[in-house]
Amino acid sequence: MTFILLPFFTSVFAFVSSSISGRLVTLCFAFLTFFTLDFFDTQGFCSVVGGYPKILGIELCYEESLFLPLLSTQLIFLLFSFFRVPSQVSAVSAVMLGAFNGVLLTNDAFNLFVWFEVILICSFVLPVFFRECAFKNLLKFLVLNILGSFFLLSGVALVYKQTGYLNLTKIREVASYLGPFALDQAYIFFIISFGLKAGLIPFHNWLGCSYHGFDKRLLPLFYAVLSKIGVVAMVRVLGVVDSPTPLVLYIISILSFISILVGAALAYFENNLARSLAFLTISKSGLLFILALSFPSKLLYMYLAFDMLGTFLFSGLLLKNFQTAKADKPALTFDVAELFTFYFLAFTLLGFPVSAIFLIMFVGFSQTEFTWLLIVSLMAFKLGFLAFVFKLIAKFSSQPGIRKASCLEFAVAVFLCCYLSFCVIKKMAL
Amino acid sequence: MDERLILSLLIGALSGIGTYLMLQASVVRLLLGLTIFSSAINLFVFTSSELNKVAPVGRIGEDFAKVADPLPQALILTAIVIGFGLICFMMGIILKLSSTLKCDDLRLFDREE
């Protein structure tokens, strides 16, 4: 409960405080929430809010695998509280943090919907506090996400109809007695809902149309956290059955693979940086959905935690240094330290050389029929991301000399990292 | 007629009307469509419990086998509250947009960009 209540208290204090003290309060509470992680039991535990019987009450469960995503989210919000934003933004972002923790910790299908809605409401409200807010974009964002919520609610209703429970542990028990196709209809609704949230193709339209209209201080939070909610929720829902039916598997894998390719292509050909990053998010969502199908949630959470933090820092750094004052020639103006950080983050997100380890784990744990798709998807995503980074350097670097040198350096570094990854894989395979 | 059939027809009709209105160019119709669609979803949640039963109000000596499942009704209440909040927020956004652009046509919103 601490993880949900602390951000909500933060929100109240930040909302009633003035701008500077509001930010200070948020910062203090963010530190407090962050250090609360230290007291967590490594074995995992469940608690029912209010002491009601397990099935009736709101059950929150902590597992060992949730430690990293929780740590990563607290860290992102801690970093976000350093941003110079109005105190209302700090307040609402704290509520969003509490709700994200709720999505991770809840063990109840309906509460998953409720936390999902709280996050959505926060994401609708957040852009309004900034001077630069395109209401038209917000409207598209709002309508499509509300539709997504309706589908989620329908899915929850179908699960309840089939199993008679909302508690995920109980649903898992009952689902094992039911036939393999019992929850298929519910899964179709969940795919539409979470696909809409994560920007999976063909539900991706709102992402490219809305994000670029919001303030750029807000966007890293949206790219890193908001787009990942759908993936987290899908992992939680997929965990209810031992293995989803081929229909569900094929729908998710086909949509995900198309998302990886189309997202990367759109990101490459787009000239607006905010939009380009939004399209890259589509590609990333596709990859995460395929990973969710292919291997245990423990590993996915690990990768997700690493990816969320990386995306937040990478998009934050890019948007901070992207000068749009000269409309005819937008430029990225990095100093040496920032350029080094940019390269480091780009490599981290590309997964060099860490990807070597992840690749082995992914392939080792994946189901046999998806191994080839997994490898192709990973390669497709990496190539897409690489092309995006090259385009960033080549098109937006402020000086042509630096542009060529940077491209060359980056290409050499990528080659070395590929070779290193290959060596690690070969050694571990032996 | 069977209550389940009537409810199914009603849900189908409301979803159809809601979808039709949402596909129109007017923002007011879009809002109405969303509201009607949310009612259809709430009814859908309602059908997830057993129908043909007495109201779930505790009475002494009541046979609990005949009492309706209260959980979907509680879910609908929560969903209505959340949906109402979102619709109100959306109304605010639409009001702001319409007052700025002096129209309620979504196609004109795009052109104004």
Domain ranges of chain B: 3-51+67-112
A161: which chain B residues are within 8 Å (Cβ-Cβ)? 47-48
Q: Is B65 exposed, middle or buried (0-12, 13-18, 19+ CB in 10 A)?
A: exposed
Q: For B93, which of A110, A138, A149 is closest by C-beta distance? A: A138
CB A196 within 8 A of CB A152: no
Strand duo A45-49 + A322-323: pairing = unpaired
Task: Compute φ and ψ for B60, nearest 5 degrees.
Answer: -70, 130
When the candidates are 3.30.70, 3.40.50, 1.10.287, 1.20.120, the CATH number that belongs to B3-51+67-112 is: 1.10.287
Tokens 């080792």 — which residue?
A364
Which of A136, A143, A153 lies nearest to residue B34, judging by beta carbons? A143
Nearest CA-CA distance, residue B58 and chain A, Å: 17
0.80 exceeded by pTM: yes
Q: Does the beta carbon of A139 lie under 8 angstroms from any beta carbon of chain B?
A: yes
Task: Find the range with the poorest average confidence among A190-194, A354-358, B80-84.
Answer: A354-358
Q: Which of A30-44, A118-132, A312-326 has the highest mean pLDDT?
A: A118-132
- Phi first, then psi, for residue A323 (nearest 5°) are -90, 120
pLDDT at residue B16, rounded to an integer? 92
Q: From chain A, pick out residues whose CB is under 8 angstroms from the CB of B34.
A: 143, 146-147
What is the average pLDDT across A280-303? 80
- A133 contact B CB<8A: no
* Closest by CA position to A200, among listed A166, A244, A234: A234
Reading the block at residue B83, the tokens are 């949906």
Asked which of A13-17, B3-7, B42-46 is least confident by mean pLDDT, the reply is A13-17
Query: Which of A106, A115, A117, A170 to probe the B interface (max B CBs under 10 A)?
Result: A117
pLDDT at A316: 83
Residue carrying structure tokens 């960009």: B113
Please tell me which of the candidates A138, A146, A154 has its beta carbon nearest to residue B44: A154
Helix (H, G, I), strand (E, B) or coil at A172: helix
Reported ipTM: the value is: 0.86
Q: Which residues of B touch A154 (CB under 8 A)?
A: 41, 44-45
Amino acid A288: pLDDT: 84
Calculate what percentage of chain A has a pLDDT beyond 70: 69
| B86/chain A closest Cα distance in angstroms | 7
Digit-coded pLDDT (tens) for B62-76:
666 666 777 788 888
CB-CB under 8 Å, B110 with A160: no
Q: Which of A205-219, A385-399, B21-35 has the lowest mean pLDDT?
A: A385-399
Cross-chain Cβ contact B90/A146 below 8 Å: yes
Model confidence at A261, pLDDT cuts 50, 70, 90, reads confident
Q: What is the pLDDT of residue A426?
A: 62
C-alpha closest to that of A232 among A100, A107, A121, A363:
A100
Quick check: A356 pLDDT over 80?
A: no
Mean residue pLDDT across chain A: 75
Give B-chain residues touching A149 at CB under 8 angstroms. 82, 86
Instruction: Show the tokens assigned to A137.
Output: 């974009």
B43 vs A64, A138, A379, B72, B79, CA distance in Å? 39, 28, 45, 10, 11
Checking if the pLDDT of A40 tops 80, the result is: no
| Per-residue pLDDT reduced to its tens digit, A66-108 | 778 888 888 888 788 777 777 777 778 888 888 888 888 888 8
Cα A63 to Cα A65: distance, rounded to the nearest angstrom: 5
Mutate to test the interface with A, among B86, B108, B109 (most CBs of A within 10 A): B86
Torsion region of A199: left, alpha or beta (phi above 0 gives left; psi -120 to 50 gives alpha): left
Q: Are A92 and A129 in contact (CB under 8 A)?
A: yes
A421 contacts A358 by C-beta, under 8 angstroms: no
